[in-house]
Chain A
């Protein structure tokens, strides 16, 4: 299965810019479906970025993060070719992990 995580990590000088797009419904638990039944909450709670054995960015999310979440940040201390590990876990115990090479 294709990964739910799409990442672009580009390095300029000492700074690596990371853009991530994840496929996830991010259901709030407050919206009803076409039959009038509540769609249970289903959302990513934690998203972690690791590089060279160190956490570089950790996101804690609630249901107010948009469907198919996008996030962008930058960090120092990595170079081209280093690996960035991205993983998420959701409130139903689901998870996904991927790695991306910094370009």
Chain B
């Protein structure tokens, strides 16, 4: 004769569950909708879409809608080693004519576009400012002159990033 075994008493499953990933970090993906393509930088509006782009290539596309060619007429001045990534002095000058805008892109930052300056007629195509850099990065300056884009790049070594708390 066989005795039917008692159904085994199992602990309630939730007791075993370890609270893992309870603090799931909601990364705001800021789902970039694919509208608003090329917009001229000469536009008076703040280029929100371009500032949202993560990569340098996407940011340049969103801001200008075209690619830049390297030019030795664009002089980009930045330190080779930045001790403090939170404050990196950067300036650009150019001998190009009919300049309408100058923009700075920091490739390794969470969003590449850092600053964009509109240069109206009569303003000298040169600007100096201070930018943050998350880590060692490629820095690109783009000068828009006579409807075309010219760029200069430089590698900046960052010893202390500009994003830490």
A residues within 8 Å of B by Cβ? 15, 28, 30-33, 45-46, 54-67, 69-77
The size class of the interface chain B forms with chain A is 35 or more
Contact, CB under 8 Å: A58 / B124: no
B interface, CB within 8 angstroms of A: 44, 46-47, 51, 86-88, 91, 106, 109-111, 113-120, 122-124, 126-133, 162-165
Q: How many A-B residue pairs have CB under 8 A?
A: 101
Q: Is B129 a contact of A69 with CB atoms below 8 Å?
A: yes
From the candidates A31, A63, A71, A73, name the one contacting B123 in the complex (CB within 8 A): A73
How far apart sit A45 and B109, CA to CA, in the bound complex (Å)?
Answer: 17
Q: A65-B131, A66-B130, A66-B131 are in contact. Are A60 and B116 (CB under 8 A)?
A: yes
CB B53 to nearest CB in A, in angstroms, measures 10
Contact at A73–B124, with CB atoms within 8 Å?
yes
CB of A62 within 8 A of CB of B111, answer yes
Closest A residue, CB atoms, query B88: A66
Determine if B46 and A46 form an interchain contact, defined as CB atoms under 8 angstroms apart: yes
Given A31-B163, A64-B111, A64-B114 in contact, is the A72-B127 Cβ separation under 8 Å?
Answer: yes
